[in-house]
Amino acid sequence: MEQIQHLISDTNLTNSSMTYSYFTPEDFTDDYEMIAKTTKQFLKLDVKPQLEKGLSIENQNVRVLFEKAGDIGLLGIEVPEAYGGFELGKMVAGLVAEIMGAAGSFSVSFNIHVGVGTLPYVYFGTEAQKEKYLPKLTSGEWIGAYALTESNAGSDALNSKTTAVLNKEGTDWILNGEKQWITNAHLADCYVVFGKIAEGMTAFIVERTFEGVSVGPEEKKMGINGSSTATLILEDVKIPVGNVLGEIGKGHHIALNILNMARLKLAFANIGTAKHALHLSVAYAKERKQFSKALIGFTMIQEKVANMAVRIFGAESAAYRTAGAMDEALQSVDSVEELVRIVADFMIDCAINKVNSSEALDYIVDEAVQIHGGYGYMQEYEVENLYRDARINRIFEGTNEINRLAIAKGLLKKIEKGQLWSAKNEVDNRTHALTRHYGYLVKAKQLIGIVVKALAGPLGESIEEEQEYLGLLASMNERLFIMESALLRTEKALIKNGESEEKKKMLMSDVICEEGYRSIQTAAISFVSSALPDEDSRGLMLMEIQAISAPLYSNMFIKKREIIQGIIESARYSV
């Protein structure tokens, strides 16, 4: 705690002192970089040695790491100062989560604790609840968990069978049910548990020591084996009425909005893991020789590395942009109702970040194994473990399929209101050097506009039941958001530093925009071809798509070879 407290007392690390519009990683000052350095030292000196020994619940080394993280202040980044935290917001929390992405399964335990295990108290707790629980969670004395999922519900998380009934005296709720796949289940001292009462879904604070609380055996998982995952069993558990979190019957507000925040935090962790996988891949490819030549000297390997870097750049740009915008929007919140409204407004952005980052990570760890060849399949090489650990991220915090449906349905609501793109998503082409890049962005929006016109046909009446179409709509919006985020970041860098200093960002944005446009064009053709049963209407709309004049396609191979030059030298992701 003292390490970060020292940094804060000596510098002006307050949200009000910074402008968060279109925030980029380059906007972090040296003061914030000191927090990054503290996190990296914790990872190197404390986490890595324990990972090498093998994290396990039995030998308590996970809890030791939590206590150390609490000591140096890493558990309180988003917690108000009054309860032992620093209230530094989503951007700094994202920076810490990203670095912790290289912490293997401990990253999962850590991010669940500081995210869904802590933030419900921050945003929805009473003063008494905050005073009781937040100091313990911030110091690492207690570990938090979040219990929403049930075996019968799965993705339909609000269809809870866990029930709560108020006793005759009106002093306690009696809670019964089981919550499945609870991260930190065996470690946690307190759980945020969701159950149904007559008024609707309600959130309860359940302490591990409450009578009737038990935890099932550890699940045997594909990966993240150093984290605890088990069933939380609740048998006639007496919950004091003062342990209702938020409003009675409005637990869904907590569940959905905390999940939105968790999706963004997960995106940052995925980005950190992806950077680590790239580092391991380049380091190996520089050492490993085939045909008397280092692997990294082969252009097909170089292309793989470049694709990794480009995917990271896009995900990183989108995540920090979203975190900055959320911090800015949340600064003036003075009621739970306003909080719910604002966080809900970021639902599409958070879901996009979750889907994009998890799929980028899966692609990157797969290529990391491929670059390692047969050694990548062996457990003594770290990429084998990264490969297994990464797979859960497309399932965590709502499957990617559920998130895509949420993105598409959110987009449909914007269309109904005549808000296809909100003001915060609009960009102006102020930099001549990016004319080509913006050309793809503008044309991509035209393509989506054509798809929206197709919704005026017979499909529009039943679109919410047509999941394949919703998936295409979500994917197009996702690509557009990544293109736009990369461009905003690059434009900001060019204005500040000039073209000569920012060639790599320009190249990465160029690749993202051209390949993104191609992806959106293909999706638009698939959508229109399937959505319009009338041949004449379909033909006219397909001709409209083909008539869009995008910038001339370019040599992606040459651009990607340029992108990786600095990365090869340093064996690190760099822009």
Catalytic residues: 397
User: What are the tokens at 235?
Assistant: 């048998």
Q: List, in order, residues 6 or more apart from 458 with CB less than 8 Å away.
A: 533
What is the rounded distance in angstroms from the CA atom of residue 221 to the CA atom of residue 245?
A: 31
Q: What is the 3-state secondary structure (H, E, C) of 168-224?
A: CCCCEEEEEEEEEEEECCCCCCEEEEEEEECCEEEEEEEECCCCCEEECCCCCCCCC
For residue 256, the surrounding DSSP H or E stretch is: helix 251-287
CB of 553 closer than 8 Å to CB of 514: yes
Backbone phi, then psi, for 18, in 5-degree steps? -125, 155
Helix (H, G, I), strand (E, B) or coil at 237: strand
What is the rounded distance in angstroms from the CA atom of residue 524 to the CA atom of residue 451?
A: 6
User: What are the tokens at 115?
Assistant: 């995210």
- In 382-525 the beta strands, taken as DSSP E runs, fall at none
User: What are the tokens at 481?
Assistant: 């958001």
CB of 146 closer than 8 Å to CB of 192: yes
Angle at 153 between CA 151 and CA 157, to 5 degrees: 120
In this structure, the number of other CB atoms found within 10 A of the CB of residue 500 comes to 6
